[in-house]
Amino acid sequence: MGLRFSKMHGAGNDFVVIDLRRGGPAPTPALAAAIGNRHTGVGFDQLLTIETPEHGDAIARYRIWNSDGSLAQQCGNGARCVAAWLVRDGATASARFALESPAGRVEVENIGDGRYSLALGVPEFAPKRIPLRMDFEKPEYGAEIGGRELRFGAASMGNPHALIEVADVAKADVAGIGAALQASDLFPQGVNVGFVQVLHRDEIRLRVFERGAGETLACGSGASAAVAILIRQKRVDRLVQVHLPGGSLAIAWPRDDAPVRMAGPAAFVFEGEWSA
């Protein structure tokens, strides 16, 4: 028997989902990279494993591999897909349930029509908590990267994010600037780099260059971090529609000490078996 998997996506952010609750070895970085190759494998932005929870009040836990085989700490679009997979599998009949992630507990609500709402945790802005090599917390930082001066906000949603505001996301040098910031020594654990265009106080456009995956069609934790950073900069309100290349997410941060909530779709694409 090969390795059974489901191909899924959330707003275009695509995943391979593998159920390991009944045993089986976790993917190695080499296997994850092989499956993730879009030319010779299945192709994905992230691979998600569903595993037995460590605490009894969660229905499952999940882990995350990027398409280059590296591990990730959080993936909001992936968490929605894990939730949808578990609901389809009959793991819960409740509209509200909890998952365990590498970044901590995730509260989930099934809001119908293939959409799920998640509480992704309270954003971290202290440089040591991101982590970011800066001495003091600021709404916006400045640094010379690749011969150009960049201004960016930064936060952690369980994984590190930088956010650069641009006049037009369609014209932003996402790959060039994103790769340069990732290659700098400012973020010792790497960073997901978001490029945001503020349309209104309740609406933004966003593109994200992710660690270990490059630019993706959507990034749930990146959308959550972007809204949190912009709220701290007093650029947007507490409920924001985030338009990404693959679709839209609703992000709400009701108050500074509350978790950021993200709502969006989760879709099944096909079932397969990896036998290479």
- Which tens digit of pLDDT belongs to each residue from 3-58? 999 999 999 999 999 999 998 889 999 999 999 999 999 999 999 999 999 987 99
CATH (domain of 170)? 3.10.310.10
Residues 88 and 140 both lie in one domain: no
Task: Give the range of the structural domain holding residue 143, as residue numbers without chain letter.
Answer: 127-258
Q: Which of 219, 226, 229, 252 is catalytic?
A: 219
Question: Residue 56 has what pLDDT?
Answer: 79
Q: Terminal CA-to-CA distance of the chain, rounded, Å? A: 11
Co-location of 237 and 157 in the same domain: yes
Residues in the annotated binding site: 13, 46, 66, 76-77, 159, 192, 210-211, 220-221
pLDDT of 135 strictly over 90: yes
For residues 244 and 138, membership in a common domain is answered with yes
Q: List the binding residues for substrate.
A: 13, 46, 66, 76-77, 159, 192, 210-211, 220-221
Q: pTM for the full model?
A: 0.93
Q: How many distinct structural domains can be found in the chain?
A: 2
Q: Catalytic site residue 75?
A: yes
Tokens of residue 64, six digits: 């995350």
Q: Is 219 noted as a catalytic residue in this protein?
A: yes
Same domain, 131 and 250: yes
- CA-to-CA dists, residue 38 to 60, 62, 69, 141, 207, angstroms: 28, 23, 13, 36, 20
Helix (H) / strand (E) element for 79: namely helix 76-89
Residues 218 and 190 in one domain: yes
Residues 73 and 179 in one domain: no
Domain shared by 114 and 175, yes or no:
no
Residue the block writes with tokens 């900069």: 233
Instruction: Give the pLDDT score at 1.
Output: 64
* 154/95 same-domain check: no
Active-site residue (options: 18, 33, 42, 75): 75
Within 10 A of 190 (CB to CB), how many other CB atoms are there?
17
Q: Are residues 105 and 175 in the same domain?
A: no
Neighbouring C-beta atoms of residue 268, cutoff 10 Å: 15
Q: Are residues 53 and 116 located together in one domain of the fold?
A: yes
Residue 170 is classified by DSSP as G
- 215 and 136 in a common domain: yes
134 and 170 both lie in a single domain: yes
